[in-house]
Each structure stands twice: as structure tokens, then as C-alpha cells.
Structure 1
């Protein structure tokens, strides 16, 4: 707000004016003229007025009408630092000066009316009339850096009044202080002060900086860069490093998610926590199967922590001997050390004592086919972890038809090796003399099948092809259909070492799950022949089988079954986690 100072006409001025009305009035040439002389009785603004508006029209009020022609720039002027430009007008007894532009704030101006002003009778102002006034002050506001913030509260205010100005930082900045001519006047964004003339205040903002507090338990948290404070929108890379046995799980506080490292944008003070969790110890189970023997497990636990070593020691029952491991272990190491890195199922395979030995005078001459634990013409495959003790061969098909064994070709090119085979693996596409040897072995296998199948039988159609639970003496047995064994069968050699057993089967050979071929009194697997002319020989799960299978087609051995003997197939042999042991000395 501003107020105008009123100018009241003093009593002596009125008396002086009355005197002039009744006495003579001198012109410029000093000739006395009777009548009233012009005088200035008041002004707008009044003399010594303050807080005058900047758009003020400056007026001089006289005691009588004047000769309008005498109101001109020579007789009526207003000046500040220099003479003001403006427009003069006259009406009644008032002369008006309208500035061409607003007056300057908190500036003293002087108005002057000279003796050149006259009334219509030629009476002149007796002396120059001079008065002065001061305009209202202005408070101006600015910011030190563009786009750093905004200010409010600027304007025109009466001198001595209380004014409040406000400074608000833009994003990324913070208020520092108010200054006038680089001198600090306040550090408060909302600043109240008394107006003392024109005042130019500057709001100063610095770029905002923020603190970053980090927390980590069971690990550490690194910052890059690592600084006490960070400028607005700067980036910090946080990396969580777990202690041993722990793993990073997530961020919390002013960060979320699981990214590691994490890029954090500093747009405020932040507190971030790196969370770590205990790494769970993997535990695994171990299942050990054994028939005709037991296995000592050390340590023997329900579950094992990952990486635990377990020692397996097989112990054969009376009349049996340990042959091999199958399932999730292979070979015939005794004892066997396994490392628990998964759930494992391992079978210890036991065979009857001496039943796996070579017989000097076999009932059927296998020729070179007898050198192989497995010999096939079209394919050999395994799933699960199989153990084969003895050589394998395939012909006329190539090595690509042997699957599941992870073959590694020897540098000689004549054979391959496999972690599942204790022996060598031969194929028709390997380097000479392997192809010729395999051709001879396959031919010998076919001849042996024909020879064994053509031997004169001692018994035919025994029990109509179902010999479950029977004890059979040595000899040649013939069936015109299939042979099914769903319960264990005992082959009794009658005290003759390497007693001969030949089974001629026109149909399929089917050995049910959990069935065992038991050999006693001199019976040995090397001199037992299962001659299958049907669709194939199928051994179920967990079968303990003895003897050589001469199949005109397929031989299939299911999970965890073991064979002491040879698998000689004129088509394919399929295995599933089995133990195959070729008779040997």
C-alpha cells in the first residue's frame, strides 16, 4: 500500500493571497497592475510527499484562472535526475503534467512553476514555485542461476513497511540464501524484512546434494563412486557381496528388486539395505539295493549333505560273489566311494560263485561271438547308468547305432571306450581289422543260434512253457511256443562242472520282475544257452539272470536287472540301468 501526503494551504498563504487581491500586482517589467496575482495554492503530490505512485499525474493548483498560453514547458516542468518528458494540460485553475512514462521507484522529483505564468489580465506569478516529492520504493527479486528455482513477493511497497518474499528451489536444487549486492541478508527461504528504499534481492541456489546410507548383514555392500554426498541425478552402482554360506536375495529401503549390481539414481537422500539369505545345504537320499548279498554304507544316514563322500562295501551271501555296480554307479570297485551330488539309487550285483567262469568244453561253439558281452546287428542302447564288464560290438550297423554310452574313439580308430564299459566297444565303421572281425563274430553268432536251436531235445513242452519255481537238471529243453518265468528257477548241474543247459524257445522268452536264475552243483552261466526264435527275449526289472541269450531278434533288459552271460542279438539290445558281466577266467 501507499499513502499520499496531503498539502494543506497555510493560513499565511491565504492571508498573502487576500493581500494581493486588494493591492497592486507587478508585471515582469515592474509596472504595477491593480488586481490579483497568480499564486500556487497547492500541488499534487504535495511538497515532500513520499510513496508517490509511479503513474502519478503531477498537478499545480492556482488561486485563479490563468492564461492557458502561459502554461508551457518553459513555465511548468518536472525533473528527477533529468527533466521529465511529458504532456501539459490546463483546466479551470489546475495545470496538469502527465509524464510520458511511469516515474522511477524511490526517486525524488522536483516540480517547478516559473514567473512566466500569468492570468488573463497579465498579472504574473511573483516568484518561481518549487516543490519536491519521492516515489514509492520497489522490491525486485531474481535468481542467481537460471532454472534453479522460483521467487515470489516482488512489487511496490511503502517505505518502512514489512514485506515477505519466498524462494522455492526447482528439482535438483536447494535454497542457499538471499543476498543484496552479494551480501547475505538471510538464509531462510521465507524472508521478512522492512522496506528501505529500492531493494534488489537475489535468491541463491546450489545444486542439490544427497546422502546415501547403506546397510548389509551377512555380507557387504560396495558403492561406486563411494562419496559422502552425491549431486542431483548422479548415478551410484551398488554391488552386494555375500559372506560365505550366504547369497544375495533382494534390495529394500529406497531400492527394490534383485538386480546385482544395481544402478541407483540419486534424486533424494536414500537409505538402501542389501538382504542376504543363508544358502540352503542341498541334501540327497541314497538307496542301495542288493540281492544275494548286503552292502555296508558308511556313513549310513537318511540324507546326506551335498558333497558328502559315502563308502559302499558289498558283502556276498554264501555261495555268491560280488560282480559289479549298476544304477548310479558302475564298475566293480570294492569298496566304492561315491560323492553325494544328487539323489542316487545303486545296485550291488552278486553272482553265484564260479558261475561266471569260462567252461573249457561248451555245449555250443560261439566262435568269436563268445568274446563279447553284448553283440548286435542293428543297435545297442541304454538309459540310466549301465555297467558292462566285457566288450561290445555292432555290425553291420555303424557306431551311431550305439546310444547312451558316450563313446570316445581311440586314437587307433579301431575301437571306442565308454565310462559305462569295462572293455572295448567295436563298430563296423571303425578302422581295419575291426569290420572283418565283427563280420566273423556276427556270422559265428548266427551259426551258434542255428546249431543250438537244432540240437536234439531231451524234453519238449515241459510244463507247457511255465517252469516257475522248478529245479531243472542239465539237458536240452524245447518249447514250440514261448517260455515264461514268473518265479525263480534253479538249474542243478548234478555235480558236473559246467553242466550243459540249452533252452530252445520257438516264441518269446519272458522273465518277470524280481525273478532269479539260480545255479547250483556245477551249473555255470558260460554253458547255459537261451535260444529265442520269437519276437525277443524280455527281462523285467530287478531280475538276476544267468546264461547266454541267443536271440533271433531283440533282447530287452529292464531297470536294475543284472545278467551274468552274453547278450547276442540278431537285431538290437536295449538296456536300462543294468549290470552285464561276461563270463571270464
Structure 2
């Protein structure tokens, strides 16, 4: 039995150690992934001596047999002959003759280089330098490579330069693809140091294509390529799997900090190739840890920790991801997104909290809820459910689940047990008293004379600043959107008084409140004697400080799986003096005074 347990433990450790590095024909047993730490000369160095030795230093000892003239190359106007040696952690290329003056060279260490246990270099290392005063722009690599065979029919053709280039010079005229003399239609894009040609239609099978980058392409200093760069490749007969959609989409903004990143494929993939090595997430150069899963045709990356606000992340699915037949993606699939930025909200006079749940708590359903402000209740912390306090360090969670986790960017204040405490409870009570005082100050008793425009129905009306009171005791915004016109007065204020309820939207359709001509959300007040229900259908934009005696409800449980962009929004505050506040995929933007 002990022997079996020992073997099982070894197997688990073995799997854990090999999970992180690039795959090759070796069996990986080392968790350290090899990479080049430094080079001599450094990238884009100038005035390099003609007798310069070219070196690359790795982060660990490498297998000397894999460091040779095919894996460590130097190119100027042609490939340079030389002697390659390896010692310690450093590979050295000694040119057989002096380098030429005023010439740009490109050194390359390929991914065929491996460490002592067979882990391959994570990415090809390419750097350039010049023996003159300037580094000439050059093509560092292409994909497909020159004379590559069996290229996929849906291949995107890319070329990487040795430095940033002027994007305006990289066009469908200067970067072309031809089959014989026939130009191939496609779209040319450029980012970083890489230009991409995406054919409009699939390439023909078993056909030779010629790609050309014109010498008219220049770097940022308007220095042209030395000459046209031309390479050829031959297609096979296979269409590779593709990524058809992602969530978030490319260049999305305002992404939730607890977002799970997903990608959908054009066909069923091999689950064993969808893993944390082949599906990665980075913030800059920092890798984000997470759990990768695959189901149907969808891969998911769930970050271990909540993402950082206001940061741009890059997700990548590499060509190591393969379909069920073993065919890989034709190209790495890369997309970016930016997380939401929390608003820094000062405590407004009379109302400290953006959301307050009386003595009954606050409940959230869904993953897209966020409160850009503070929330509180005089109740125990156990009555606040489905929230993460991103202002706390480390983050504090309040009964979250995989399906219910809203983000609060201004703090959560409740009574014990932890993370609530007596100090937070005192702040909650202070906020409740301030809200109650404000509630009384905007009541009909203290602000009499309100008119009843629309007989309780505010939909489709445009109202000037003033005091409005429902004669029936209820207010609705169901027949259309309500527009508030400040008429150019930045201090314009609206007071709406309802002895009973406030209903915005219907179960079938959401409604919004619109501000025009200088109207401000912070200057709109809703006095609600009973409860408020805001856009039960989901969606819509409500405006103002809603202070209800017996609860506020946003959206319906059926909307708990609403996609980003379809949330119910309140630009204001939702305060319940006694009962709870219920939110389903709701965004609260607390206005600044």
C-alpha cells in the first residue's frame, strides 16, 4: 500500500512539474521553462565592433547538442558562417570572418534549442545590431517560413520586423500575396513589429504562393528596407481549426474584474491540448495564473485571482491547440481587453453609501454587477451575499458563488461576523441616519406643493426642475423614457415624491431617465414611501438618488446570466431604510457632488 501511495505521489508531482513548458519530442520532467535572459550585443545596438562575438545567456543549463549552426544563426546580407560553442549557460557564435562595416545583422536562436531535460525554448529569440551608426530595418522572421510546405488553407501570413515600423507604409500595396501572377485579395494589418496579411478567401490546395514586402516599407525614422523581401510557401490540403469568437471580444473595455475568459472554436478540439500552457493570459509581461477547462467547442480560462482594475490584458491560444484529428490552429490567436476602472467617489453630503440595505442586507445575482461606490447595511455580514470588496486588501468576499459575484469598489460596511466588524457597523449606522434625515427633508411634509404631471405616469414626459408629487401615491415610468431638462442651469434639482411605490419599466420592457442641457444625476431625488422596482426586464438606465422605505429591486432573477453590456444601470444611489436591496447584474455609478 505504501508503495502504491508513493508511486501515486510521484506521478502527481511529475504531472505538475511538466505542465508549464513548451512541448516537443522529449519527455519533460523539469518545471523550469528555458528562455534567453540576455544577449551580446543587446538588441538594436549600434557601432558594434567588427570582431564582436555574439552571445546568448539562458536562465538554466541547456543541452549543448541542441545549440548548433541550425539553431543559432547570424544573418547580414546573407547567412554568416561561424563557430558555435556553449559553456555554463552561455552560447557563443564566433563569425569566421570580420563583420562588414555599416551593416545590420540579425541573430536568431530557434525553439529547437532545449534544456538538459528536453524542455524547448519557449519562444524564438531574435535580436538585431549594426556595425554602423544606425540599425537598418529588416525582416526578422516570417510565418509561414520561406519554402515551408503543407501550409494550412486558412493560414494568416505574417512578417515580423527587427524594429517598429511606420504603420502607414504597410498596406495592401506594399505587402502582397500572389499565386503566380495573380494577386490574392486580403486585409493587411500591423501591430507591434508584425504585419499580417489575412486572405479574404481560403487558399487553394497544393499551390505555391509568393509573399512580398516592398522596400517602400519604412521604420519610424523613414528608413526603408534595403530591398524587397520575398518568400514562398506551398499549401497542403487541410483547413485548420480557428477561433470563431471570444468573450471578452478583442479590445473590449470595462471588463469585470472576476471575468472568466472564453474562446469558441470552429470545430471540436482535443481537450488534452487545451491547457494552461496553450491558453494563457498576461498583463504586460506578467503571466496570470488560472484554471483552463474545455467543453463542447469552448475553452475557458478562469483567473485564480480577481483581475486588476484599469489594466489591459492579453489572451493567447497557441498553435499547440489541436482539433480531434490532431490538426493545430494555423496561427496563434491573440486578443486584448481592458478591465473596468473604479471611480474614486468622495462621500457626498447626506448620503455616504451608493447602496444601502437597511437592517435586512443586500443581495446580488450574476457576475456583471459592480458598484462604483460603497455599500452598507446595519445587518450582519451574512446578509450581504454575492459581492467582493475590491477596496479591501486582500479582497474580502461576501458569500460569493461561481455564478454570483459582484464587485464593490468603494468598500462594504456591515456588522460582524468577519469581514464585518463593529467599526464598519458604526459607519453603516452613520450612513443610515444621514439617509433618513435626507429622506425626511425631501418628504411632502418638508417640500410641499408638488405637481402631478402625467397622473403618476412619468414615461414619455420632459420635465423642468421642480417638485413633483403623485396624487395616487405611485409613480411609474412605463410608457416611454423620462427626460429631465436642466435648461442650462447646472444647479437644477428635481424631487419626485411617491407615498407608495416607484416602478421603472415593465416586466417586458426596460425604460430610462435621460438628462439634457446640464442636468446632473446627483440633483435628482426619489422619495418612495414603500418600495421601488427598477427595470425588472433588465437593461435600461435609471438616474438619481432613490430613497425607499421598504426595499429596492433591480432586474429579475431570470437576468442573472445577462451578457456584459445588457446590465441594468443606476447613475445614482439606491437606499432602503428598512428592507433589503436586491440586484441582478446591475451597475451602480455613484455620482460625485
TM-score by length of 1: 0.39
Select the structure that is richer in strand: 1
TM-score by length of 2: 0.39
